[in-house]
Chains A and B, each alone.
Chain A
């Protein structure tokens, strides 16, 4: 793929963050070369605080020094700033765009919080309840996949698109949670479309080099729990 953007593109992030992963996948899909600025976990950099004074969170994309914040806003920016590169991340049709935006919003507004609730759940009862919410949400996405993919392999159709990025970034952490909780979230029998999509997504060229291995994420989570800090999240 032709490189575009040169070193005028920097991404402030951290390798375990699924939100940062979204930005990386979008940049990879467009073949944009960028410098990855890894934040230290203990202390936010001056650059981050200056570039994202409102939320002070990663990811932040810097294009010619100008900051863009919020992961899905970054994804949409990448799509619009490099329109001729790679493939369109959002579809062209206004109604299809609205559907893709809706489901990406669903991931952020409903699915991700129910996942967070699961990781915070203290009692067995709370864990079961929270896991149930996550599965219910994934079932809706299984149905949405049918509608959005139009028979192809991704939410975006024949290639990764907006919703794939929104949801797929969590697959690494999902695998970690499946191991620690013993709950299978994307069950091949109950969610065959998502199960096959998940494999396809993780194997995609734009994803596999930047998606951390679940073992590495699990190790990171263990170390984090040990030093009793909450992970940087968006």
Chain B
């Protein structure tokens, strides 16, 4: 990562990105002031290209000129750089390993499966829908009757997953199913998270997400 010439905390991001939103939520939970810079992904800024030369992707958190890349790595960095309030990971090593496991699972599965769901039609879409339902049910099982994935404290796994809640409407509408029916506890969890200011102020309006995906579909020639 190329070190750059910025001061304080800067977040290079894109308004609807669930990955960027993870970082925004973490920063808000910690009460960290930062400068939000919206990137034009069709014309990436020199700052983005210099601070993330390997992937050239958002989000990038730049702290006193030092860039951190990859959303879950950024969230862990935020937790460790501002350790004095709102711990995002539990203290116990086993609980931390479980949190990392589920955040990683969410990272590996949801975006990719969700993308297939809106990009494909027919059998491909039906398969993606079944897969997504399976993933959400598994997560619901892990959540159980807890308030949050971390228990009473909102944390790493909640942050990893919650931005995708505003994509539920898009997934449901594209593939014709109800996530509330498939995973009601997860939907309830999403509503509880939305009661937190950090989440309510960050998540995109589900209809705006749907509009955005509509534009992507046109660009990819879907439908």
Chain A interfacial positions (CB closer than 8 Å to B): 54, 63, 66, 68-70, 73-74, 76-77, 80-81, 94-95, 97-99, 101-102, 105-106, 140
Say yes or no: B1 contacts A140, CB within 8 Å: no
Residues A69 and B101 in contact, CB atoms below 8 Å apart:
yes
Tell me, yes or no, whether B68 is within 8 Å of chain A by CB: yes
Shortest C-beta distance, B85 to chain A (Å), equals 15
A-B contact pairs, 29 of them (CB 8 A): A54-B105, A54-B138, A68-B101, A69-B101, A70-B101, A70-B104, A73-B100, A73-B101, A73-B104, A76-B96, A76-B97, A77-B93, A77-B96, A77-B97, A80-B93, A80-B96, A81-B93, A94-B77, A94-B81, A95-B77, A95-B81, A97-B77, A97-B80, A98-B74, A98-B77, A101-B76, A102-B70, A105-B73, A106-B54
The prevalent SS among residues of B at the interface is helix
Contact in complex: B70, A63 (CB < 8 Å)? no
Which residue in A68, A101, A105, A106 is a CB contact (below 8 Å) of B97?
Answer: A68
B63 at the interface (CB under 8 A from A): yes
**CA distance in complex: A101, B75 (Å):** 12
Give me the 8 closest cross-chain CB pairs, A-B, nearest first: A94-B80, A80-B93, A77-B97, A98-B77, A94-B81, A81-B93, A98-B68, A68-B97
A216 to chain B, nearest CB (A): 31
Could you list 18 further interchain pairs (A-B, Cβ under 8 angstroms) beyond the known A70-B101, A80-B93, A80-B97? A54-B105, A63-B94, A68-B101, A70-B100, A73-B97, A76-B96, A76-B97, A77-B94, A77-B96, A80-B96, A81-B94, A95-B63, A97-B76, A97-B77, A98-B76, A102-B1, A102-B73, A105-B70
Chain B: number of interface residues, binned into ranges: 20 to 34
With both beta carbons as reference points, the residue of chain B lying nearest to A63 in the complex is identified as: B94
Within 8 A of A (CB), among B65-104: 66, 68-70, 73-74, 76-77, 80-81, 93-94, 96-97, 100-101, 104
Q: Name the A residues within 8 Å of B70 (CB-CB).
A: 101-102, 105
Q: Whole-angstrom distance from the CB of A99 to the nearest CB of chain B?
A: 7
Distance A80 CA – B100 CA, assembled complex (angstroms): 13
- Chain B residues with CB below 8 A from A99, complex form: 1
Closest Cβ–Cβ distance, residue A58 to chain B (whole Å): 15
A98, B73: Cβ atoms closer than 8 Å: yes
Which chain A residues border B68 with CB–CB below 8 Å?
A: 95, 98, 102
Decide if A68 touches B94 in the complex (CB within 8 Å): yes
For A101, the chain B residues whose CB sits under 8 A away are 70, 73, 76
Q: Flag B154-169 by CB within 8 Å of A: 1 or 0 each.
A: 0000000000000000
Contacts of B104 in A (CB 8 A): 70, 73
